[in-house]
């Protein structure tokens, strides 16, 4: 029996990103909704990998266990190391951010977990690049659904080190994206998945995220933020960040709240999502082609230097 595991999924516990001066939540997805989305996509294993936190993964796992859901949740974390992002799977405790990739891998494996390089050749996410060849990794993401440029995943597949399991993950930041890419393995349990990675008997499967799913993610984000702005006065402030990690979006001054509300409404009621999506998609593809050419030139140069 072939099982399916999405090895890279985010929830509302993934913190905040920043684009220039604009700060935004990485995901508005409650852990419980991520679990339900994974079940709907007929996944056997869901790996919740929030940025620098295992709180969302622990909550998702509890929800699946308490509700006797037809899925197993693996506690994971996407660690922001000094060298790029590393995912730890099957964790018992969180790995601190801003340490070296080597130390992160050591801490992950000392817990009996799996150390995974995600989007290793990305040009817009912090990535390990050639360091993947130096680290004792268990797995490497060679199909990241969020990278639809056609080049980043190809580079990863070409340069995966021998003895490292090839993985697929959705890198989902919304429920619509869960399960777009996944990993197949023999069996259907989290234990089977663990053994398959350790024995390097896995395969990436699925597809990349579409521009429409990306646009829907941005509009879902705008709707979520607008909803929080409009219901702020009906929720206790301050909230508990352990239960509601997005509560800091409520801690804005009245004039900033008005600006955010107006901006969200403007985004939702105009063609902005489609304009931004189309421009962003073309920019990503262009940069992907450039990254591919740079890497090819470097490889050719290295070959010429060899004796």
Q: Read off the pLDDT of residues 1-16 as tens digits, 9 standing for 90 and up.
A: 899 999 999 999 998 8
The DSSP bridge partners found for residue 165 are 139
- The answer to whether residue 303 is domain-embedded is no
* 95 part of a folded domain: yes
Other C-beta atoms lying within 10 Å of the C-beta of residue 106: 15
Q: What is the rounded CA–CA span in Å between residue 187 and residue 31?
A: 25
User: Which CATH number is 115's domain given?
Assistant: 3.20.20.140
Question: What is the pTM (predicted TM-score) of this model?
Answer: 0.89
Number of domains in the chain: 1
Whether 183 maps to a domain, the answer reads yes
* Helix, strand, coil percentages, rounded to 5, for the chain: 45, 20, 35
Q: Is residue 171 part of a domain?
A: yes
Q: Would you say residue 274 lies in a domain?
A: no
Query: Considering the domain boundaries, does residue 16 fall inside one?
Result: yes
pLDDT of residue 172: 98
pLDDT of residue 41: 98
Three-class DSSP category at 89: strand
* pLDDT confidence of residue 302: 60
Domain of 171 in residue numbering reads as: 2-209
Q: Supply the pLDDT for residue 237.
A: 46
| Residue at 155 is within a domain | yes
- Enumerate residue ranges in the chain where pLDDT < 70: 19, 232-243, 296-307
In a domain, 229, yes or no: no
Rounded Cα distance, 167 and 123, in Å: 19
């Amino acid at each position: 029996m072939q099982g399916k595991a999405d090895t890279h999924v985010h929830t509302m516990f993934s913190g905040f990103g920043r684009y220039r001066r604009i700060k935004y939540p990485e995901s508005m997805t409650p852990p419980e909704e991520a679990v339900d989305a994974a079940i709907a996509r007929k996944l056997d294993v869901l790996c919740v990998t929030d940025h620098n936190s295992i709180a969302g993964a622990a909550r998702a796992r509890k929800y699946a266990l308490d509700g006797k859901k037809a899925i197993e949740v693996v506690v994971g974390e996407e660690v922001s190391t000094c060298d790029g992002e590393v995912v730890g799977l099957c964790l018992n405790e969180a790995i601190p951010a801003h340490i070296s990739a080597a130390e992160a891998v050591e801490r992950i494996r000392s817990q009996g977990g799996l150390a995974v390089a995600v989007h290793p050749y990305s040009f817009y996410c912090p990535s390990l690049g050639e360091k993947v060849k130096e680290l004792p990794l268990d797995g490497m993401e060679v199909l990241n659904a969020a990278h639809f440029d056609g080049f980043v995943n190809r580079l990863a597949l070409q340069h995966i080190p021998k003895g490292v399991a090839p993985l697929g993950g959705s890198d989902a930041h919304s429920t619509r994206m869960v399960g777009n890419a996944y990993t197949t393995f023999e069996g259907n349990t989290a234990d089977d998945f663990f053994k398959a990675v350790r024995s390097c008997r896995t395969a990436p499967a699925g597809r990349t995220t579409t521009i429409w799913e990306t646009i829907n993610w941005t509009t879902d984000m705008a709707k979520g933020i607008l909803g929080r702005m409009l219901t702020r006065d009906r929720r206790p402030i301050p909230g508990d960040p352990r239960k509601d990690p997005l509560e800091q979006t409520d801690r804005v001054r009245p004039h900033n709240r008005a600006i955010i509300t107006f901006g969200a409404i403007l985004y939702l009621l105009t063609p902005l999502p489609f304009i931004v999506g189309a421009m962003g998609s073309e920019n990503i593809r262009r940069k992907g082609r450039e990254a591919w050419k740079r890497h090819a030139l470097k490889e050719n140069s290295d070959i010429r230097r060899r004796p």
